[in-house]
Chains A and B, each alone.
Chain A
Amino acid sequence: MLEDLTVTAAVGTGRKPPAIGPISPAMDEALGVLADESPAGKLLGAAAILNRYERCGSLPRPSNALPPQAAEETSPPCSRRAGELLAQILSMANNETRAHLIGEWLAAAARVSHRVPHRFLPALLDYGSAHRVARAGIAQVAGTRGPWLMRLNLQWQFGADESENPASVWSTGAREQRVAALNRLRATNPAAARELVQATWKEDAADDRSLFVSALTIGLGAEDEPFLETCLDDRSKQVRTAAAELLARLPRSALVGRMISRAELLLRFQAGKRGGLLRKTTPAAIDVALPPEEFSAQWARDGIIEKPEGKIGRRQWWLTQFLAAIPPTHWSGTWQVSPEECVAAVADEFTGVVLTAWSRAAERHPDDAWSRALLLAAAKEDRGPLTLALLNGLAPAARQAVAAELLESSKMTADLLLQVLRAGDFAYDRHSADVLLRQIDRQREQQTTAYAYLLPQVLQGAALRIPPEFYDELAQRWGGDKWEPYRKALDEFFQKLLLRREIQRELA
């Protein structure tokens, strides 16, 4: 009836008079009062009456479509305050700081086995669907309600495809899905993953194959060598390069062995001599010879690039590549000297070439002593490049100690300070934090131009890395006129530090 009236209204009662009733004796009687109205008045009056009739008469409809109930939670929720902190962090601007703080919150909650209160789950799952790295942490604190909720929302089903059978994804999926499935399977069963790659090797395109080879980085082991070695003879250059890179990371691979035999003839260690006629000490030295003039096809097969990248001689360039594949411990072991002595003994004219190569080698074959020796030689004596990425390969305790040693260096500049902070996203312990803070003080006192510019970034990095218990001490120490030019940056520093302290206290 109301629908008919709406149709009539659309056309206009001038063209089509409204038809009203009959409905029921009672309604017809009620509508009867409109008998003397104009057509438009009749329509509007009838619509008003029917509307109210409909509105007052409606009832809920039977329903049986409820999803199953979520199971009871087995872990306690975090404190109210901890939840508020999470909400505050989630509402921050989308940047690294937020990612860091969310990671810290999730880790702290997981440590004490607290779960996220239900009301914060939608915002957190939204975050997870946009930020892959946070997903594992979210899964740990989502309780039983999290997975229940995720099943109902397509946007949040980032956990679902991870449980799919990798073999079926492998045979039917698109390239990205196959790589994702391969990555996941490598983490749990590297051999099965490699067999998947080999199974379809002949059909797959070169672009795909090089991606699949690179995916073997996860869980790389000696068992992968025979396959990778065959890849060195692949038609595709991309595949050969990818395979050579992985073989260069396997310390006992035949490729590394070949590199050793090429380089062993070129580096010669001469032990230092003490005493002698004039009681003069001759320091140890490493003599460096260059590879032969002629580029070998065997080298190319092992991934050596013939044409230099950058301003470096051809033969020096080849040497760099040989050395960069060899575990640095090979040299300290062969010569029976410490990494420090090795670094110090490189002949002056070759320090750049050899130490660059060794730094690259230390990235491929991490070793605490070597990484430390290379980093400190660069930071304190300007010997070789400062490869801060080496920090990340260090064992946690060594990393703290080396970071502290780097920061104590008298050659430290504001720029370098920022680089060290950014190189590793790890928590500083009390000692290294203390060194860092004193270095910040020293830099501020020197008031270089670069520092004024870099300080906000340095503070931002420090706020996320130092132990938050420093808050009280720093609130006393940092402030006043000397800090006036940096007030805004300092306020933000304290705000973040306080937030982190609260996270740790609420989730203790």
Chain B
Amino acid sequence: MAAGWTQDRVVQLAPDGASLKAGQGLALTKKWVSLGRDELYVWGECQGSGAKPYQVQFDLSESASKCSCPSRKFPCKHALGLMLILTASSDAIASQAMPAWVAEWVAGRIERTRKRQEKAEAPPKPVDEEAQAQRLEKRLARVAEGLTALKRWAEDLINAGIATLPSKGYAFFDEPARRLIDAQAPGVAGRVQKLAQIAGSGAGWQHPFVSQLASLYLLIRAFEGRAALPESVQHDVMANIGIPVKSEDIAALPAVRDLWQIIAQEVDVEEGLRVQRTWLFGSESRRPALVLAFAHGAAPLDVSLAPGLSFEGEVTYFPGNGLRAAVTARGDLKPLTAARGLATLEELCAFATGHFSQEPWLSEVVTPVHRVIPMKSDGGWAMVDADRRAIPATMNDRAGWLSLAISGSHPIDLMTGYDGRSLRPLAIIANGEYVSLMSGGA
């Protein structure tokens, strides 16, 4: 099997269930006029309904594919079928020299990568720093205006009492959220929408609502008084408000070289925008990192970082105390057969405290924790560590029973989020095998 590719990983690539089913239908060698592979690429010609077969090619290290079919799904069913054949058995596709049409595509990819690098290495274009500073000034003024209005809104809410909020519905929060988008503070708008969700979440909503509103209030006040804050906290305030960091600023920052474990990945859809969160953990540095990728509508997400793999490479953290980072250099992806992380749940608490006290708006840290045992405990789930200490775990029953089945009350390595109160289990490594606990994964 090539470069850590398994059937599971191909299944996770599928954009939807229909594409996967169609791909499985094409995973028959007799549907293919030709099939071939080498170390880095796999290709094939699939007989469709037309006279000319579709030509599809797949880059194994970058998870990129191209097909001559007109589908706008990505990857298309032909690419999925091709990869399902490849991962079904080691001898299904024979190594051979690349045909011209594949070589052409590969040459194009190499050329594009080279141009990108050249562009990145080229001396930066002279920037009109003054104009840039002016633009930022203007934006911050609008943000300040929006936040002042929001502060008043929040105070009025608390003054009048929040008891009747659930009956007002989502609409009550739409207007302030929209105004914050106009004020160019998308991060804050998101937090207001989160408030709406909490208010609609049923019994016991008041406590988390007050917590969330208080956190938002803290952000507004921190923005107002930012001049007096340490520089790193100022960055955190800006990041949480949603002021983007310029990529040349990140390029200038020092990178952390490590063996990075890709411990979990999740994709959420937020108003037509797909947000992919990939959690990394440094084996030596013991630092968590969050890599975000975005895609509008049906546009493809960057799938080159798949959970359950690891790579030698460089990760550059965004300025501030947060966990957001970008992968700036990456070696070959290898299967992750053993996790390297924290030894006990107590260590996790201490570790999280360190991060939460540095970055007060951080919602959770995600890390591997060794040798924990999943357990069913009155109505819910929990994880117990080697010291017989437990933290409740928030997961659905599917994930709970799956973790119980894999563990059998024996210790396993857990990839989990922790928000200071409960765990959010994301994946397990047991007997050298990575198993995702998120729905969709097998």
**Do A and B actually bind?**
yes
Mark A residues whose CB is within 8 Å of B: 2-3, 5-6, 9-15, 38-41, 43-45, 47-48, 51-52, 54-70, 80-81, 84, 87-88, 118-122, 145, 148-149, 152-153, 475, 479, 491-492, 494-495, 498, 502
Contact across chains for B161 and A67 when beta carbons are under 8 A apart: no
Complex Cα distance, B210 from A5, in Å, reads 8
Contact across chains for B161 and A494 when beta carbons are under 8 A apart: no
Contact across chains for A70 and B389 when beta carbons are under 8 A apart: no
Contact across chains for A47 and B214 when beta carbons are under 8 A apart: yes
Q: Which 9 A-B pairs have the closest CB atoms?
A: A12-B161, A55-B420, A70-B408, A47-B214, A60-B389, A63-B390, A40-B155, A40-B158, A44-B217
Chain B neighbourhood of A3, CB < 8 A: 207
Contact across chains for B217 and A48 when beta carbons are under 8 A apart: yes
Complex Cα distance, B206 from A48, in Å, reads 15
Q: How close is B414's CB to chain A, nearest CB, in angstroms?
A: 13
Chain B neighbourhood of A122, CB < 8 A: 398, 401-402, 405
Question: Known: A40-B155, A61-B389. Is A9-B408 also a contact (CB below 8 A)?
Answer: no
Contact across chains for A60 and B162 when beta carbons are under 8 A apart: no
B window 227-263: CB within 8 A of A: none
Contact across chains for A494 and B158 when beta carbons are under 8 A apart: no
Chain A neighbourhood of B419, CB < 8 A: 55
Contact across chains for A118 and B161 when beta carbons are under 8 A apart: no
B window 118-176: CB within 8 A of A: 154-163
Question: Known: A60-B385, A494-B30. Is A40-B346 also a contact (CB below 8 A)?
Answer: no
Chain B neighbourhood of A69, CB < 8 A: 408-410
Contact across chains for A64 and B388 when beta carbons are under 8 A apart: yes
Complex Cα distance, B157 from A44, in Å, reads 11
Which residue from chain A places its CB closest to the CB of B215 in the assembled complex? Answer: A48
Which residue, of A119, A145, A492, has the highest number of chain B Cβ atoms within 10 A?
A119
Contact residues of B: prevailing secondary structure? helix
**Which of A52, A58, A479 makes the CB contact (< 8 A) with B349?**
A58
Which residue, of A12, A60, A121, A152, has the highest number of chain B Cβ atoms within 10 A?
A60
Which residue from chain A places its CB closest to the CB of B29 in the assembled complex? Answer: A475
Contact across chains for B375 and A63 when beta carbons are under 8 A apart: yes
Which residue from chain B places its CB closest to the CB of A43 in the assembled complex? Answer: B158
Q: How many A-B residue pairs have CB under 8 A?
A: 174
Chain A neighbourhood of B163, CB < 8 A: 10-12
Q: Counting CB contacts under 8 A, is B300 at the interface?
A: no
Q: Counting CB contacts under 8 A, is B356 at the interface?
A: yes
Complex Cα distance, B207 from A5, in Å, reads 9
Which residue, of A13, A57, A66, A491, has the highest number of chain B Cβ atoms within 10 A?
A66
Q: How close is A327's CB to chain B, nearest CB, in angstroms?
A: 50
Of B66-74, B102-110, B326-334, B376-384, the segment with at least 4 beta carbons within 8 Å of chain A is B376-384
Indicate with 1 or 0, residue by residue over B338-366, a CB within 8 angstroms of chain A CB atoms: 00000001100100110011001000000
Complex Cα distance, B89 from A15, in Å, reads 71
Chain B neighbourhood of A148, CB < 8 A: 408
Which residue from chain A places its CB closest to the CB of B211 in the assembled complex? Answer: A51
Chain A neighbourhood of B404, CB < 8 A: 149, 152
Which residue from chain A places its CB closest to the CB of B160 in the assembled complex? Answer: A12
Complex Cα distance, B409 from A205, in Å, reads 49
Which residue, of B30, B345, B352, has the highest number of chain A Cβ atoms within 10 A?
B30
Contact across chains for B159 and A495 when beta carbons are under 8 A apart: no
Complex Cα distance, B402 from A120, in Å, reads 8
**Which of A47, A67, A145, A149 makes the CB contact (< 8 A) with B210?**
A47
Complex Cα distance, B215 from A381, in Å, reads 87
Complex Cα distance, B400 from A122, in Å, reads 10
Which residue, of A9, A61, A80, A498, has the highest number of chain B Cβ atoms within 10 A?
A9
Chain B neighbourhood of A70, CB < 8 A: 408-410
Chain B neighbourhood of A64, CB < 8 A: 388
Contact across chains for B377 and A65 when beta carbons are under 8 A apart: yes
Q: Counting CB contacts under 8 A, is B289 at the interface?
A: no
Contact across chains for A495 and B408 when beta carbons are under 8 A apart: no
Q: Counting CB contacts under 8 A, is B415 at the interface?
A: no
Chain B neighbourhood of A10, CB < 8 A: 161-163, 206
Contact across chains for B88 and A15 when beta carbons are under 8 A apart: no
Question: Known: A55-B419, A118-B405, A121-B405. Is A66-B155 also a contact (CB below 8 A)?
Answer: no
